[in-house]
Amino acid sequence: DAGVIQSPRHEVTEMGQEVTLRCKPISGHNSLFWYRQTMMRGLELLIYFNNNVPIDDSGMPEDRFSAKMPNASFSTLKIQPSEPRDSAVYFCASSFGLNNEQFFGPGTRLTVL
């Protein structure tokens, strides 16, 4: 298995632009997690899905952030409009069940100018 796949690996955009991050979980996993990591705040859980259904989005910082999981093999995290303070590394992780080992993707490094 290729593991969790994220794209793009790097994204540089200007303030106000829409950003879409993509994630393909490991085949067979039914839980998917979106994280954000910065030097200042460390690792933060933004939202997670179980069986394609959002379970807890309390970590989503603002309405500018939205996430979808249209099927078991694909999820997106969208920021519209983006701001410089959104600059961070965004990780996607998947697991088989909420309480089991999570496997992280390589992350997307987002820079908003």
Partner 1 sequence: KNQVEQSPQSLIILEGKNCTLQCNYTVSPFSNLRWYKQDTGRGPVSLTIMTFSENTKSNGRYTATLDADTKQSSLHITASQLSDSASYICVVSLGALNTGNQFYFGTGTSLTVIP
Residues contributing to the site for partner 1 (CB under 8 A)? 4, 42-45, 48, 55-56, 58, 91, 93, 98-107
Compute φ and ψ for 13, nearest 5 degrees. Answer: -140, 170
CB atoms within 10 A of CB 72: 16
The CB-of-81 to partner 1 minimum distance in angstroms stands at 27
Nearer to partner 1 (CB atom), residue 36 or residue 112? 36
**Number of Cβ atoms within 10 Å of the Cβ of 18:** 11
- Of the pair 59, 81, the CB lying nearest partner 1 is at 59
- By C-beta, is 25 or 107 nearer to partner 1? 107
Minimum gap (Å) between residue 1 Cβ and partner 1: 15
CB of 59 to partner 1, least distance (A): 9
Cβ closest to partner 1, residue 7 vs residue 81: 7
Give the phi and the psi of residue 84 in degrees, each rounded to 5. -55, -35
Tokens of 3: 């593991």
Residue carrying the six token digits 């899905």: 49
* Cα 78–chain centre separation: 9
Q: How far is the CB of 42 from partner 1 (least distance, A)?
A: 5
Strand partners, 100: none
